[in-house]
Amino acid sequence: MSTLIGRQTAGNFEQSLAFFSSALFDQVQTSGLFTDSKHFADATPKTDWDEIYQQYEQQSASGHFKLAEFVEQYFSFPEPIKLAENVRYQTVAEHIEALWSLLQKQPDADSKDSLLPLRFPYLVPGGRFREIYYWDSYFTSLGLLNSGRKELVKSMVLNFIQLQKDIGCIPNGNRSYYFSRSQPPVLGLMVDMLFRSEGNYKDLDFLKECVEAMDSEYAFWMAGAEQLSEPFQTHSRSVRMPNGGILNRYWDEQACPRPESYAEDIDSAEHKKDHEKSTFYRHIRAACESGWDFSSRWLADPEDLQSIQTTDIIPVDLNCLLYQLEVLLSQYWDLLGQKSKSQLYQQKSETRKVTIQSYFWDSTDNFYRDFNLKTTSQSAVMSLAGVLPLFVNLANHEQAEAVASRLENEFLCAGGLLTTLCQSSQQWDAPNGWAPLHWFAVKGLQQYQQNELATRIMQNWLANVEHYFQAHGSLMEKYNVKEIDHVAQGGEYEVQHGFGWTNGVTSAFYQLMESSQPKLELPNLK
């Protein structure tokens, strides 16, 4: 990396990456010294890296070397973001308002650790997630706007634009170990949200900066697409389909264990043959780029993470978000007077719309499904990714009615919507429900006048959130929507408190419910 990473020098960025491939990092992460690999990946060196490595080589050769003491001597660790103790708010809304300040971070100072310093204030999700996360920020922003914090949303957009300029993409989060992957492309949604909240487009210079960034993000996802000529030929994140259209998949340029989940990945790949491990690691990393880490969507066997096949799956939700990005780019380039660019993106969106309908719509089960490249057929897994064609207003009314029927009869539970219809040990499966997917579903249904069902989904979700809040005084990263008295399980770490996107979506649902007439009461789930 030759560019500056925010205000962090390229040298510091490269040193942090070198740390992750060092013998010291490997020994610490595989020693069981920490139960969460992210803890050491986020460590800050107390002195120069060269001195730490030199001391490690010398001391580890001694028969009296004590790893824990060495780590304590040479590294410090950030604390997880904790809720204020001995403070109990009366309502969820009051709690969310208080959390905004707790989860906000000011511009970062120079850093020797894995943090990529950001130039403007930003919000973090909470708990072990002490840095900004890309797609989380869109859902968090829904609540920030409701709370009158528009400038904070704008500053997060500016941070993403700067990260994109520095490292070539908007990374998963502002840590150096995330540099090789992004997350679902929501920059355009954040930009559109900002400008729609103003009711006009006064700041055309800022708009132009945003649209250029959206254009760059589109180029990132479409890299190598022009080289593809044969059906199902792939390059990085791009796939040529038999009808000539381009669709996209999740990917990661790296094919090695994730530093933030190093021990977990090494353990998961233990029984893989050497030539299989790099493919396995890439599938794992690609699933992290999706934000759905992990789900039966990506597994050949829903109960076996060893069967992960993420890069073989063309996801319906990713392609809908890219369709929406094409639509927004067409609209905004037209607004900025760039007619030829506007027309180009309009053509791209029309082609993608046809391609999405051709390969993701299941006319037998009347639902949108992912597409498997290896089997050249649709996935067997039914998931809430299937609501994205409604969210981006791509489905026709008959399709929307069919999707709504599926949601009502198969996905909707007392505490909200199931993530998939597959119950597994993975956190992005039943019985868990997640705030961002509820937002996509509700807004998608409202696009097609399915207002009664949309309201019921909001009611059930809010009732679940309030039920847990009354019992425990906090908001969670995810919820069990089948058994609301049970804490949501699954994943590589304990369920986190906070939590950015839950706060944002819940706040937005309160506003939508408040504006509905007549006023609707939440169901009693006790």
Q: Which residues belong to the active site?
A: 293, 477
Cα separation of 493 and 504, whole Å?
22
Amino acid at 293: D
Which residues 6+ apart lie within 8 Å of 317 measured at CB? 184, 385, 388, 440
Which residues 6+ apart lie within 8 Å of 103 measured at CB? 81, 123, 124, 125, 126, 498, 500, 503
Please report, to the nearest 10 degrees, the dihedral formed by the alpha carbons of residues 188, 190, 194, 195 taken in order. 10
Q: Edge-to-edge strands of the sheet including 371-372? A: 313-314, 371-372, 377-378
The Cα angle at residue 370 between residues 365 and 373, in degrees rounded to 5 = 120
Q: Let me know: does 176 contact 116? Beta carbons within 8 Å.
A: yes
Amino acid at 335: L
Question: Parallel, antiparallel, or unpaired for β 238-240 and 234-235?
Answer: antiparallel
Long-range CB contacts for residues 50-56, cutoff 8 Å, separation at least 24: 52/24, 53/22, 53/24, 56/23, 56/24
Token readout for 101 is 């300040």
Quick one: how far is CA 26 from the chain centroid?
27
**120, 271, 498 from 99: Cα distances, Å:** 19, 43, 7
Cα-Cα end-to-end distance for the chain: 55
Q: Let me know: does 237 contact 250? Beta carbons within 8 Å.
A: yes
Token readout for 462 is 């809010």
Cα separation of 214 and 191, whole Å?
9
Which conformational region is residue 86 in: left (phi greater than 0), alpha (psi within -120 to 50 degrees), or beta? left
**330, 343, 347, 383, 462 from 339: Cα distances, Å:** 9, 6, 12, 38, 44
Cα separation of 208 and 205, whole Å?
5
Q: Let me know: does 139 contact 189? Beta carbons within 8 Å.
A: no
DSSP state of 174: S
Cα separation of 357 and 233, whole Å?
20
Residue 155 CB-half CA count within 13 A: 16
Token readout for 488 is 């949501």
Residue 267 CB-half CA count within 13 A: 10
